[in-house]
Amino acid sequence: MTTLADAMGAIPDGASVAVTKFNPMEAVRELIRQQRTGLHVIGVPTAGFAVDLLIAAGCVGVVETGAFVLGSHGSARNHLRAVEDGGLRLIESSCPLIEMQLRAGAAGFSFTPILGLFGSDMLAERAELKVIDDPYDPDYEVVIAPSLRPDFAIIHALRGDRDGNVVTTIHNEDRLIVQAAGHVIVTVEEIRDDALDGLAADEQVIPGMYFDAVVVAPGGARPLACPRHYAEDRGAVEAYLAAAKSADSMVRYVEGLRSPQKADADVSVHA
């Protein structure tokens, strides 16, 4: 048995951490409460509220992602401010590049070929991207990129069972980062004996063998939506966006997150 605090405490300063578009907000808030620093965060394939919040809290030294996307809510102001101030290193990528790098990492390869980068500034700015002759067709060249094997992956799932298996949607890259990462922590809305029964068309099961910790965290995606559990909390999202307009107001917002929390509500069922 463990708490969310203990599960997230396994992530050291400076670790590489992959996060998908289904933002694991409560897990991220716990990293902020623990004042983690120097993380290399990989937004798979894009980064959103969770990554922007980690940046605002000073937890991130490097961010690698295909884009910053806050849906219809506008720009990720904390990310932009940190890059402009020089406090954050941005590794510009693309969605296909990140996904192919993770697939190579999950398969145990050291590199992957990738299409669509010729003519991109990334070839000039990222020395690790190399152009080689196609070994099967000497008339062509191909770009190769190193694989990605994050130290940790953090995901939020819809539900889990008592054996540590979890159910997620198929709309994010949860299964991909779980397979590629060295260690995986998942928060779930609930634990049910029938969690794997009657899967919806857009749901999938990820076996418990992939997880280092499964932590019950009801509301773990709030203030964002969680399918079949709750809608987006518009008021809370607007409060975040208002705070993000300036560095001073964001400092106050983050200080509020670091207030004492009830840690005994989080119970791990698999570790």
pTM reported for the whole predicted model: 0.93
Q: How far apart are CA 53 and CA 250, in angstroms?
A: 9
Amino acid at 150: P
Q: Where are the alpha helices (DSSP H) in 10-153?
A: 25-33, 49-56, 77-85, 95-107, 122-125
Q: Which CATH class is domain 4-97+148-270?
A: alpha beta
Give residue 260's pLDDT: 60
Q: How far apart are CA 245 and CA 43, in angstroms?
A: 22
In the block, tokens 């949860």 appear at 174
Angle, to 10 degrees, between the axis of helix 247-257 and the axis of helix 234-243? 130
Residues (pLDDT < 50) of the chain are 1, 262-271
CA 152 to chain centre: 9
Q: How far apart are CA 129 and CA 114, in angstroms?
A: 10
pLDDT digits over 234-262, tens only? 999 999 999 999 999 999 999 999 876 54
Question: What is the torsional sign of CA 134, 136, 140, 143?
Answer: negative
Residues 6+ positions from 223 with CB-CB distance below 8 Å = 25, 232, 233, 236, 237, 240
Give residue 271's pLDDT: 41
> What b/e sequence results for 226-251 when a residue is b if at least 16 CB atoms lie within 10 Å of its CB, and e otherwise?
bbeeeeeeeeebeebeebbeeeeebe
> Distances from the Cα of 183 to the Cαs of 15, 80, 119, 162, 178, in angstroms?
11, 29, 36, 20, 8
Give residue 42's pLDDT: 98
For the chain, domain boundaries: 4-97+148-270, 111-146
Q: What angle do CA 75, 120, 84 make, to 5 degrees?
A: 35
Give residue 4's pLDDT: 96
